[in-house]
Structure 1
């Protein structure tokens, strides 16, 4: 008589746990896995909990799934406080030929995006000061269209210029939990993004929170957004 195949073991599951509890946990895992697989966007723990019985340990189920998918072709990852399945980093190059690139960002747009990410909250004038050149009309509009930057607020200085910051979509696209996970100076040098002799005193700033307004910012209101649209991207 052939012995039955072993059941897959859940990470961190005590061997003496009640069979009914094991069955309930397996059912919860299947629901969470199915929701994450089918969702077009990353999901929060609250999104998942809403579809599960009250009291289900969602965080523990996610930890189990994260362990189960570790080392596989698809990994469960947490980005911007949300959960999603993503191709394993070492296999990404195999899929690049299948990806459809809808638009390439110009060098000016990429530089502007990097400045916004590392220096937020930042104004257009501050972006121009850091780059050393005027920001071409439409550069920030292109980044707005990608969904990677947003108007945060207005600086409490004369003229009340608009401040810019990154979005949740920026974190998701680049696989970051927060802007604090952006690479630092040594990581950038190791990746070959900073070559040659670096000037004395050069440093890569530690980004501030992308969510909360700073002490020198006022929140935007609906008229601010309408004025920006009416002025064709010119700050009023």
Structure 2
């Protein structure tokens, strides 16, 4: 049987237009509940909705209701296509996601080309990237990090869920020139190991 507290938490999560973490829910309840106690109730609610027409999911420590992916096609509406990221913006976003916190100069060093301020502005406007402070080096450059909105948009619980090099290779997403270079370096290492033995 569902108690009133569980119903209140469920209603709060369902009605919220943004994902909430356990601390936010505990604060809204105003009772003497710890975020840990609230989280255990949220986990129980999520388990109850598992396999139903809606599911309660956690993304980056925040919880929200959504349609299960296997039913999403039933709810799609015709709409304008969202603006697609330019190749440069996608590259910059990937660099920030994998190397954060990272400065603009570090992004440019990895990409090998200059990065326009507009590219970073687009990512910040989408709320996928945010300033993370300043690097403690001469010039104190601004450094960037990904946000919880980035995790939610891409369906990640944390940055640890980003695909690794083996996943990217298996999906055919690595540049064939890079793959050939990696193989050549690997063969060169084998030759060096053979000469040393």
Gaps of 5+ in 2: 186-197
Any idea what SS the aligned residue of 1:159 has?
A: coil
The Cα RMSD (Å) is 2.5
Q: Does 1:182 align with 2:187?
A: no
Higher helix share: 2
1:191 to partner: Cα distance: 3.7
After superposition, give the CA deviation of every residue in 1:51-86 in whole Å (9 maximum; x if it has no partner): 274348422321221111112232111111111112
Structure 1 residues 154 and 185: alpha-carbon distance in aligned structure 2, compared to 1, 3 A threshold: same
1:140 to partner: Cα distance: 0.5
1:109 to partner: Cα distance: 0.6
1:103 to partner: Cα distance: 2.4
Gaps of 5+ in 1: 1-21, 203-236
Q: Does 1:47 align with 2:27?
A: no
TM-score using structure 2 length: 0.78
Query: Which of 12, 21, 43 is matched with 1:35 structurally?
Result: 12
After superposition, give the CA deviation of every residue in 1:170-194 in whole Å (9 maximum; x if it has no partner): 1222222222221212222344433
Is contact 1:123–1:161 with CA below 8 Å preserved after alignment?
yes
CA distance in 1, matches of 2:72, 2:171: 17
- Tell me what 1:148 maps to: 128
CA distance in 2, matches of 1:98, 1:40: 22
User: How many residues are aligned here?
Assistant: 179
Q: Does 1:133 align with 2:110?
A: no
TM-score using structure 1 length: 0.66
